[in-house]
Chains A and B, each alone.
Chain A
């Protein structure tokens, strides 16, 4: 079966065909929900954001000019809905640590001690507890840094697409992404270094 392009669906929706709007929603609802869950970290908020996003999409379609791809435009709407929700919560994550805490302090000739936890077996790195730790770490990033990391490294947008979705320059995307990655590496390393690698049963 030939898949109808987003462009085709959009033309039909503008002509008043609601069925094609439902098809468009079906195509992207999973992605939007996943983004919202990663940004907002609870199902209720993610569901609210999902509904709000597609409501705005329906209202905004007449203004969508096709300068960026539809999915980039959709990510822009979804990300803004999530960021607004985070701001309205009033409480950013309780333990918002300054990013500097996770950037290694390099002095000339001296290195902080560092453990290589990358060769641990996958089951250890991907255990239920590790995955929870990963999400917790993500939630500790300030919202703007979290958004860049989720869009670039989890959703696979390019620097340019992420820039369009967030309304920032490519340089800003790269800079925030780098700091987000270093911070997450620091938090995961703290966690993995404290856990003893499981010894094989002897």
Chain B
């Protein structure tokens, strides 16, 4: 498998959607190709960093303003 073909299949590979035979070919390629291995690692890590990016809980004032707004807009119509 050539590096360029690997590139196209990477998201499917990471998401577990790739045909097992192609998975094997891809993994065999990565054993011998350090740059591709690093590329895949950094791609996986990128996704993980975003996936577990902490998020703020909804600030209380925004919650209160939202409900006031909806009461006004929705109830009297």
A and B are partners in one complex rather than unrelated chains: yes
Tell me the A residues contacting B by CB distance below 8 Å.
18, 21-22, 25, 29-30, 33-34, 37, 43, 47, 50-51, 54-55, 58, 103-104, 106, 108, 111-112, 114-118, 125-126, 131, 134, 138, 149, 153-154, 156, 174, 177-178, 181-182, 184-185, 188-189
Contacts of B3 in A (CB 8 A): 106, 111
- With contacts A30-B58, A126-B49, A154-B50 taken as known, whether A22 is within 8 angstroms of B11 at the C-beta atoms is no
**Closest A-B pairs by Cβ, 9 of them:** A111-B35, A178-B11, A118-B45, A185-B46, A116-B38, A30-B58, A58-B74, A118-B41, A34-B55
Known: A125-B49, A154-B51, A174-B11. A54 touches B43 (CB 8 A): no
Q: How far is the CB of B32 from chain A (nearest CB, A)?
A: 12
Residues of B participating in the A interface, judged by any CB pair closer than 8 Å: 2-4, 7-8, 10-12, 35-36, 38-39, 41-47, 49-51, 53, 55-58, 62-63, 65-67, 69-71, 73-75
A172–B71 Cα distance when bound, in Å, is 39
- A182 and B10 CA atoms in complex are apart in Å by 9
Expressed in whole angstroms, the Cα–Cα distance for A104 and B10 within the complex equals 13
Classify the interface of chain A: helix, strand, loop or mixed.
helix
